[in-house]
Chain A
Amino acid sequence: MSLMFIVNHLTLLNSSTFGMAVEHASENAESSGEKSLELTNLVQLISQWLEKTGNEKASNFMHLFENPIFFVSFIILPIAIWAIVTYRRVTRGADRESRANIPKGFNQNFWEMIVQGLADFTEQGLGLGERGRSYVPFIGSLFLFILLNNLLGLIPLFKSPTSSLNTTLGLAIVVFFTVQIHGIRALGLFGWILHLAGIERGNPLTYIFAILMFPLHVLSELIKPMSLSLRLYGNIFGEDMLIAAFVGLVAFIPLQTPFYFLAILTSFIQTMVFTLLACCYIASFSHAPESHAAVQHA
């Protein structure tokens, strides 16, 4: 088989399937009344097949929950099961003593590398030293979840769950509640309200302005989930729409290839920004880290 034959067939396959995919999706979208440029994905195909075989309810169910349930489960369930199985094999395996001292095998080394990276990232982001250890699972899972969801849209026939406002708003609300509950636990209920009013103990000026600062701070706390969710949603949905707009423009050339690299870059950057912002919000509700000299009291 000559190279020209292979290249022609690949580009023909690419442009014809992708082009048809874009037309297909926009036909569906037009019939439902709004036009949004999207590539076809697996759940759309399955739900259309279900509609043709007469299963209206199942088709509606799949269409309604395509993002939160199906696409998230495609990627997050296997990865989570892999991590849990590795953990169990390391801590309860037959040779657990030798495994605990010297990590052996691909799974354990891979996950230790990932966990170490996430723990360093969290410690640097939180800036709380030892007390920040308890937040590594939350921040690390947030990082992995958002990263895998963002990158999922680059696989053909899949769609990023974070390219819909539902997923990102859910994540932002989780971060909001985590931050506020951490604030209540770290500062006490009264201390949390004083912190929201901007009052510091030693500064009498802040007591005067507390009436003004309280609504301002509360509003800013309520805006934070909105800005987090809209930032992630806009970036990932805009990127997917950009890729879909360039597909099938020119008949035999995959024009969307440079935008794939841009999409990989912006997926990484957006997860880092979301996670670092969550860390910063948690750190803003904590006391400053204690110096070494102050640790001596019981």
Chain B
Amino acid sequence: MDLLGFSLPFAIGMAALGSGLGLGRAIDAAMTAMGRQPEAIGRIQTAMLIGCAFIEALTIYALVAVFVLKGNLPVPK
């Protein structure tokens, strides 16, 4: 029973789900703040991008793990 072929894409899917939820919350808060204070939009945008990069990085770690492990996938005959 081949678990690796199932779990590698499943891992990416789960990581994407998590980052989707997290990024949605972060950007929601940033949009609200921008709406309250339009003169601070530049600074809020910068902070939002840094925050998004942190959250995205966790998904990228999962992607890197997939790159490392995909050599072990069984070769189809």
Contact = CB atoms under 8 A, between A and B. Distances in A.
Interface residues of A, number: 20
A230 B71 contact: no
Interface residues of B, number: 13
Contacts of A231: 53, 56-57, 60
B31 interface: no
Contacts of B60: 230-231, 234-235, 238
B22 to A, nearest CB: 15
Contact of B57 (A124, A227, A272): A227
B64 A272 contact: no
Contacts of A234: 57, 60-61, 63-64
Nearest to B42: A124
A281 interface: no
A276 interface: yes
- For the residues of A in contact with B, the DSSP-based class is helix
Nearest to A276: B50
A35 interface: yes
B61 A273 contact: no
Contacts of B64: 230, 233-234
A15 B60 CA distance: 29
B70 A35 contact: yes
Interface string B48-77: 011001001100110110010011000000
A277 B61 contact: no
A230 B57 contact: yes
A272 B49 contact: yes
Contact of B53 (A34, A36, A237, A273): A273
Contacts of A47: none
B70 A273 contact: no
B46 A34 contact: no
A235 B19 CA distance: 14
A273 B71 CA distance: 30
B50 A273 contact: yes
Nearest to B59: A234
Nearest to A34: B71
Contacts of B46: 124, 276
Contact of A270 (B53, B61, B63, B71): B53
Contacts of B70: 35
A124 B60 CA distance: 27
15 contacts: A34-B71, A227-B57, A230-B57, A230-B60, A230-B61, A234-B60, A234-B61, A234-B63, A235-B60, A270-B53, A272-B49, A273-B50, A273-B53, A276-B46, A277-B50
Interface of A: 33-36, 124, 227, 230-231, 233-235, 237-238, 269-270, 272-273, 276-277, 280
